[in-house]
Amino acid sequence: MPAIVIERTIAVTPARVFAALTQQDEIVHWWAEEAHGEPKVGALGEFRFKPPAGVLQFEVADLDAGEYVHWISRQGPPHWTGTSVTWQLTPVPDGTQVVFTHDGFAQADMRYEQTRENLEYFLDSLESYLETGKGTPGNPPTAR
């Protein structure tokens, strides 16, 4: 099954990246308009965006503080059914290597490519938020 894999080196500690991925008051600075949920295995996180994106829900499948986050898609676009998201965080001399993976797509089609573009946008937003204090949450310019 096709997977989207995006790597970034972000000039902050793994603990700082982990907080930005798991704390609802941080998520709204780089990803969603609203974020509700707890950073604990089994919790359901809900992320709200303006139309046409709507609401995404992810179940927290696994967490390892400062190292790893794994979510399973529970509500989202139909082509996200059965997909999962992982964030692998590794300390490097100049910050944190972030390996983001969204896998389980049925096929690499136009919707897959649009998802990849949108995820690149949000990884750029995460990096900007963590390094400058300013992210670009909400709908990416390519959202249709």
pLDDT at 144 over 60: no
Q: What is the pLDDT of residue 51?
A: 80
The alpha carbon of 124 is separated from its chain's Cα centroid by a whole number of angstroms, namely: 11
What tens digit of pLDDT does each residue of 74-115 get? 999 998 988 999 999 999 999 999 999 999 999 999 999 999
* Cα separation values, 49 from 2, 77, 103, Å: 25, 13, 22
**Residue from 97, 32, 117 nearest 71 by CA:** 32
Which residues lie closer than 8 Å to 37 by C-beta, 6 or more apart? 24, 43, 44, 45, 46, 58, 60
What tens digit of pLDDT does each residue of 86-97 get? 999 999 999 999
Q: What is the pLDDT of residue 50?
A: 84
The alpha carbon of 29 is separated from its chain's Cα centroid by a whole number of angstroms, namely: 12
The encoded tokens of residue 33 equal 């308009």
The alpha carbon of 137 is separated from its chain's Cα centroid by a whole number of angstroms, namely: 11
Q: What is the pLDDT of residue 140?
A: 83
- Is residue 4 within 8 Å of 83, Cβ to Cβ? no
Q: Where are the domains of the chain?
A: 3-132
For the chain, percent of residues with pLDDT exceeding 90: 85
Which residues lie closer than 8 Å to 120 by C-beta, 6 or more apart? 6
What tens digit of pLDDT does each residue of 34-62 get? 999 999 999 999 999 988 778 999 999 99
What predicted TM-score, i.e. pTM, was given to this entire model? 0.94
- Residue 143: pLDDT band (50, 70, 90) is low
SS3 20: helix
Query: ω into residue 141 within 30 of 0, thus cis?
Result: no
Does the 3-132 domain belong in CATH 3.90.1170.40? no
Distance CA 90, CA 115 (A): 25
